[in-house]
Every structure is written in structure tokens, then in C-alpha cells.
């Protein structure tokens, strides 16, 4: 009788052990996949942003580079609009410029329009006059709680710097002066009066997704 019980108990423990091992392997596999995906997404976005800035920085220099077989800008889709300004695409999405935040160590393309797929690849303009223009431009990005996109915006504080480079090659330094949480329905910050100044707003969700974390920054004025 006890032999049968021991045999059944041993089988149960064996099955339980197998289930635990499979669960652990599955979890490690998921975490590994998520880590690889995060690294790949961030690496691709940062590489594009750097190449973009190089491209808009000096058109003459890049014209010479375009003749090289090893031109690093070959991965950037670009075309010239009717006004003579270059337009760019990242993974099929129109790009208005780049955003760089040294405090959180990110540099991403800023997509021209918000879309579900687009926000899975980078950050995007949600509302406003456009990058480095007088008025307020809202840039939105996901908080995946893994350092991608705007996940670490909670670490930013008043006085921290944000750099925006637009399609014309103009790079503007913005200084954070306000940070707060609000409801997802609140849009007042989008419509605020900037008194003729260039400003940006960064918008993302809080870690529990119940509220929006909003950051205001204004162009640094020359002393």
C-alpha cells in the first residue's frame, strides 16, 4: 500500500518539477526576448537619429558622402519636398526631427504623426505647430517601464535639458521648468500660451497607467 503511495507521490513530484522547470525556462525565454527586442529597438532608433543629424548638419558634406559605397546614410529614406526641404522616413513613418535627453540617455526620431504602430517604434508629435517653432509642440511616447522611449521621464527634473533637431538641421536646447501628473482627459497643457516662445511638452503615462506625466520645457535664451 505504502509502495503504491510512494510511487504516486514520486510521479507527482516529477511532474511538478517538470512543470516548474518548463515555467522557468519559458519565463527566462520571455525575458530574454524582451531584452533583445528592447536593445534592438533602442539601437535602431538611436542609430537613425544620429545618422539623421549628420545628414541635416551639412548637406554639402553629405552630398560627397553619398558617392561612397560605404555611406552610412544609405539606411535613411529621404526625399525633397516642393519647398526644397528634405523629408525623412523611419520604418515607413514620416520624421520631423530628433529628440535627445542626456539625463535619461535617449535619442530618438520624432515621428510627424501619432499612430499605434508608429508609437511602437519611436515617439511622435501629438499636437502643435511643429518642432522648433514658436508655440507649444506636444511629443508623446510610451512608458514601457523598461527604459524605452519615455519610460524614464519620471527621473527628469526642472533644469534638465532636452535637445530638438528639426529637418532643417536647426538644433534647439530646451530647459525643463514644470513637471506634473494629470488625468488622461486633460488637454489644457496642449493649448497653453507660450508668450511668443518656443516650447515643448512631453507626455507619457505613469507606471500604473492611471495618469499622464507631463513635462514642460522652454527654449534656453541666450544670456
DSSP assignment of 54-87 equals HHHH-HHHHHHHTTSTT-GGGG-EEEE-TTS-EE
| pLDDT reading at 131 higher than 70 | yes
Smallest Cα–Cα separation from 101: which of 134, 73, 141? Answer: 141
Half-sphere exposure of 210 (CA within 13 A, CB side): 1
Q: Mean pLDDT across the chain, nearest whole number?
A: 82
Whole-angstrom distance, CA of residue 182 vs CA of residue 202: 13
Split at pLDDT 50, 70, 90, the class of 145 is confident
Q: Which range has the worst mean pLDDT, 17-21, 68-72, 147-151?
A: 68-72
Q: Residue 45 has what pLDDT? A: 85
Split at pLDDT 50, 70, 90, the class of 63 is very low
Q: Residue 13 has what pLDDT? A: 65
- Does domain 2-219 fall under CATH 2.40.260.10? My reply is yes
The DSSP 8-state label assigned to residue 163 in this structure reads E
| Model pTM score | 0.76
pLDDT tens for each residue of 157-187 = 999 999 999 999 999 999 999 999 999 999 9
Q: Residue 60 has what pLDDT? A: 39
Smallest Cα–Cα separation from 142: which of 153, 132, 128? Answer: 153
Whole-angstrom distance, CA of residue 218 vs CA of residue 223: 15
| pLDDT reading at 112 higher than 80 | yes
DSSP assignment of 92-110 equals TEEEEEEEEEGGGTEEEEE
Query: Which residues fall within 8 angstroms of residue 135, CB to CB, at 6 or more apart?
Result: 128, 129, 194, 198, 199
Q: Residue 82 has what pLDDT? A: 44
Amino acid at each position: 500500500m505504502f509502495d503504491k503511495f510512494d510511487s504516486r507521490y514520486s510521479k507527482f513530484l516529477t511532474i511538478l518539477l517538470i512543470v516548474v522547470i518548463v515555467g522557468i525556462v519559458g519565463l527566462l525565454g520571455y525575458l530574454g526576448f524582451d531584452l533583445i527586442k528592447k536593445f534592438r529597438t533602442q539601437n535602431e532608433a538611436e542609430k537613425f537619429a544620429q545618422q539623421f543629424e549628420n545628414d541635416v548638419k551639412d548637406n554639402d558634406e553629405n552630398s560627397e558622402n553619398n558617392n561612397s559605397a560605404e555611406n552610412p546614410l544609405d539606411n535613411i529614406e529621404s526625399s525633397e519636398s516642393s519647398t526644397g526641404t528634405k523629408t525623412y522616413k523611419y520604418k515607413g513613418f514620416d520624421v520631423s526631427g530628433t529628440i535627445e535627453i542626456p539625463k535619461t540617455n535617449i535619442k530618438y526620431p520624432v515621428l510627424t504623426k501619432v499612430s499605434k504602430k508608429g508609437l511602437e517604434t519611436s515617439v511622435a508629435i501629438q499636437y502643435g505647430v511643429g518642432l522648433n517653432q514658436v508655440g507649444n509642440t506636444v511629443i508623446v511616447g510610451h512608458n514601457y517601464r523598461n527604459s524605452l522611449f519615455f519610460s524614464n521621464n519620471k527621473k527628469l527634473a526642472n533644469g534638465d535639458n532636452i535637445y530638438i533637431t528639426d529637418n532643417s538641421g536647426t538644433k534647439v536646447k530646451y530647459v525643463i521648468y514644470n513637471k506634473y501628473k494629470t488625468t488622461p482627459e486633460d488637454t489644457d497643457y496642449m493649448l497653453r500660451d507660450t508668450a511668443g516662445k518656443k516650447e515643448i511638452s512631453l507626455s507619457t503615462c505613469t507606471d500604473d497607467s492611471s495618469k499622464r506625466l507631463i513635462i514642460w520645457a522652454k527654449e534656453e535664451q541666450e544670456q
